[in-house]
Amino acid sequence: MSTVPSFTTRRESFADGLTVRFDERENSGRPILILHGGGGPQTVLSIAAGLSKAHVLMPTHPGFAGEPRPEWFNSIDDLAFAYLELLERLNLRDVLVIGSSVGGWIASTMALRDTTQLISGLVLVNGVGIQVDGHPVPDVSTLTPDKLAALSFHNPAAFRIDPSTITPEQIAARKANTETLYVYDSERLGGDPKLQRRLRHVKIPVLVAWGESDRVADLEYGHVYAQSFPNARFEPIPEAGHLPQIEQPGRLLNLVRKFAISIRTTPQTTGSFEEL
């Protein structure tokens, strides 16, 4: 039985004091950039682990998990440009970008700014970032952990955390992550009002995978997101909420593998979807 290659933590320095930390698992397979949402990098670990044959990059957004964030680095655009520059520096092409929640917003913005065609496909996993009338994304900072779990999971009882077990350090970390999220959201608390109409310019294939029980960004929100792209497919995931990679990792990974195979663009990425 083969072993899964371990991750190496790297840091790349950019202009004006910006440093990006990312975990990398080098491999001969397709390059895949995995972007986390407001819950931090641990929420996408199952995706990275499941794509064991791919060349995986998993950054931690500056300001999350204790990573430094320069004051000027304060928008989704900033994140998108930084990650595009990271792909350029690493000489990666034919990249599949997977974004969960806010990571989907970053991925969509990267595709809009990708002038050198580094990206060949997007996977949005219950992504946010657009505004849909009648389907607002709630302000998570006002929610207790139990309420957030009730909105986020198909089976919230399975993910309930006993408040007495939460340490002051964990509370502080969550508060810092939320504050950072609002910096990148420019305190709009619900996305970019211009993003949806701009997505018609994204010509690459897009998979929009959606946990059917999501009450953070509901199913209709997901349908509208998919319909905003000219070349997208929508795949609902039953018995999953906002984080299907946690509740239904097998179903999500199967969708990702099949999608990746369907958009192969180079001879180096031929083969069966099990090779991811």
Residue 268 has pLDDT above 50, yes or no: no
* 270: pLDDT strictly greater than 50: no
pLDDT, position 146: 84
Mean pLDDT, residues 20-29 taken together: 93
Q: What is the mean pLDDT of the chain?
A: 91
The region of weakest confidence among 35-44, 164-173, 222-231, 264-273 is: 264-273
Q: What is the pLDDT of residue 171?
A: 79
Mean pLDDT of 83-99: 97
- Residue position matching structure tokens 């609902």: 236
Q: What is the CATH number of domain 8-275?
A: 3.40.50.1820
For residues 3 and 110, which has the higher predicted lDDT (pLDDT)? 110
Where are the domains positioned within the chain? 8-275
The gap from C-alpha 81 to its chain's centroid, in whole angstroms, comes to: 15
CA triplet 206, 209, 210: central angle to 5 degrees? Answer: 140
CA 154 – CA 261 distance, rounded (Å):
29
**Whether the Cβ atoms of residue 46 and residue 245 lie closer than 8 Å to each other:** yes
Q: Indicate the pLDDT class of residue 257, thresholds 50, 70 and 90.
A: very high
- For the cut 50, the answer to whether the pLDDT of residue 133 exceeds it is yes
Q: So what's the pLDDT on residue 5? A: 55
Judged against a pLDDT cut of 50, whether residue 105 lies above it is answered with yes
Print the SS3 string covering 254-274. HHHHHHHHHCCCCHHHCCCHH
pTM as predicted: 0.93
Least confidently predicted of 27-36, 102-111, 246-255: 27-36
Average pLDDT over residues 218-245: 98
Beta strands of 81-133 (E only): which ranges? 95-100, 119-125
Q: Is the pLDDT of residue 269 over 50?
A: no
Angle at 216 between CA 213 and CA 220, to 5 degrees: 65
| Position 207 pLDDT exceeds 90 | yes
pLDDT at position 169 over 80: yes
pLDDT of residue 272: 45
Average pLDDT, integer, range 29-57: 94
